[in-house]
Amino acid sequence: MTLPRLLIPRESLPGETRVAATPETIKKFLGLGCHVHVQEGAGLLAGFIKEDYIKAGAEVFAAEDSNLLRQVDAVLCVNSPQQALLSKLSKGTLLVGLLAPYGNSSLEASLKSNQLSALALELLPRISRAQSSDALSSQANIAGYKATLLAASALDRYFPMLMTAAGTVQPAKVVILGAGVAGLQAIATAKRLGAVVYVSDIRPAVKEQVESLGARFINPPELEEKPNEAGGYARQASELFLAAQRKQLMEQLSEADVAICTAQVPGKKAPRLLNEEMLDQMRPGSVVIDLAVSQGGNCFGTKPGETIVRKGVRLIGASDLPCSVPNHASVLYSRNLLSLISPLVKDGEFILDTNDEMIDGSLISENGVIRHENVFNAGGTN
Ligand code: NAD
């Protein structure tokens, strides 16, 4: 029987520090009967050195080994590798990662021309069985935590209320927009640091979760239109609804020290929740962290990876926060992949059963035949 061969590439996207497999998950893959090949240098930025991988049982290979690339059955990655690597893979090789498929025509062309199969973790259905494979959640959790730390460190005030010999200082007021996975972790972290936290989301279902963390929920505007949700995600709100929401948020933001923006609708441009007029009301020294910046931003004027000071307000475009916690981000991400891939290993190969809801939902290409055309055609963000 042949052993399925897994390849772990060194990530090529600038700024990427994570890796798709750690020595821990490699041992588990070997236990399932796989061979694991790790590209030299992979994992280094996340704290995993070549010797750790070799000790775990992986084979470390040099970047140019075309012969090996032709023989692998699956490539586990964080971001899609470049065409130079993809073009060396054999027909039917399976690519698994955060492939950023929405509106991504170059990924579509590359999967077609190289006749590859691909599982995009962004499209895993949000069902109970998928939770341990849910990389969006494991990474969003880190982003929410780090967003609050970033805000606390950029703010010109304390987060907690402090009673000192020089008198009392009031706690910071933090407004969090969007209470999904990142937002909830941002709330929990801000509460731990002692801030007073207000939260806006358009899904009324999250009110209870927000309040259980000790934060105050700002109810969505009372309009006939209810964007609400589909499959656990928010639906896109109309411009009329967003205008009402901005009006409602104006007062909260004028008193805020920090705004953390996490509001998103998958595959769509992020809702614009903070406009210029609202920023004008924020006090100099306050901070806005925009986690939705790569999807167009919740806040006017934010740019990916940049801090812009506008009339004394710091606007931080936090596009890659999981990369700033690369060790734990990789540990959790690699476990997500292990959980997704393990059941696919059968009799020496990877079997992709499209009757399985998880595979059906996330398989965007089968031997180069594109599935979920609507995802590639989405107005997306790529
Ligand atoms: P997301 O990143 O797509 O969006 C973040 C948040 O932004 C969401 O809560 C959304 O309602 C909110 N939002 C959208 N438009 C907004 C607006 N105009 N104003 C304010 N907020 C707005 O969401 P996510 O973090 O991926 O999570 C979405 C939901 O899925 C959550 O309820 C989460 O708990 C749930 N979930 C379920 C599973 C599972 O069952 N397997 C796994 C992970 C997450």
User: How do residues 314-333 score in pLDDT, each as one tens digit?
Assistant: 999 999 999 999 999 999 99
Q: What is the mean pLDDT of residues 289-300?
A: 96
**Residue 259 in contact with ligand 1 by CB distance below 6 A:** no
* Cβ neighbours around 242 below 10 Å, total: 18
* pLDDT at residue number 119: 98
Q: Are residues 179 and 309 in the same domain?
A: yes
131 is catalytic: yes
Asked if residue 179 is part of any domain, the answer here is: yes
Residue 344 within any structural domain of the chain: yes
Q: Would the pTM count as exceeding 0.75?
A: yes
If asked whether residues 182 and 320 sit together in one domain, one would say yes
Domain assignment present for residue 60? The answer is: yes
| Lookup: tokens for 25 | 């998950």
Q: Is residue 337 part of a domain?
A: yes
Return the pLDDT at 262: 98
Supply the CATH number for residue 351's domain: 3.40.50.720
Distance, CA of 204 to CA of 40 (rounded, Å): 48
Residues 238 and 359 in one domain: no
Catalytic residue (choose from 10, 110, 117, 134):
134
Mean pLDDT along residues 216-239: 79
Dist. CA 234 → ligand 1 center (Å): 6
Q: Is the pLDDT of residue 382 over 50?
A: no
The reply to whether 159 and 278 lie within a common domain is yes
| Whole-number pLDDT of residue 228 | 67
Q: Is residue 377 part of a domain?
A: no
Residues 147 and 22 in one domain: no
380 within some domain: no
User: Which of 324, 289, 304 has its CA nearest to residue 183?
Assistant: 289
Residue 185 and residue 92 share a domain: no
284 and 359, same domain (yes or no): no
Residue 99 and residue 118 in contact, taking contact as beta carbons nearer than 8 Å: yes
Q: Does residue 200 sit within a domain?
A: yes
Atom of ligand 1 at shortest range from CA of 136: 26
Mean pLDDT of 203-224: 92
Domain of residue 365 covers: 5-123+326-369
- Mean pLDDT over residues 342-361, rounded? 91
Tens-place pLDDT, residues 268-281:
899 999 999 999 99
- According to the model, what pLDDT value does residue 191 have? 98
Q: Examine the residue annotation and report whether 134 is marked as an active-site residue of this protein.
A: yes
Please state, in angstroms and rounded to a whole number, the distance separating the CA atoms of residues 266 and 245: 20
Of the three residues 324, 339, 360, the one that is the final residue of a domain is: 324
Write the residue with the smallest CA distance to atom 11 of ligand 1: 234
As a whole number, the mean pLDDT across the chain is: 94
Residue 233 known to be catalytic = yes
> Do 72 and 192 sit in the same domain of this protein?
no
Whether 69 is covered by a domain: the verdict is yes
Sign, CA torsion 302/307/310/312: positive
Does residue 19 share a domain with residue 38? yes
Per-residue pLDDT reduced to its tens digit, 68-110: 999 999 999 999 999 999 999 999 999 999 999 999 999 999 9
Looking at per-residue pLDDT, the higher value among 137 and 62 belongs to 137
Q: Is any atom of ligand 1 closer than 6 Å to the C-beta of 177?
A: yes
Q: Can you tell me the distance from the alpha carbon of 16 to that of 374, in angstroms, rounded to the nearest whole number? A: 28
CB within 8 A of 274, min separation 6: which ones?
177, 246, 249, 253, 259, 261, 288, 298, 299, 300
Q: Are residues 288 and 155 in the same domain?
A: yes
Distance 290 CA to ligand 1 centre (A): 15
Q: Do 251 and 364 belong together in one domain?
A: no
**Number of structural domains, the chain?**
2
Tens digits of per-residue pLDDT, 156-208? 999 999 999 999 999 999 999 999 999 999 999 999 999 999 999 998 889 99
Q: Mark whether 182 and 229 lie in a shared domain.
A: yes
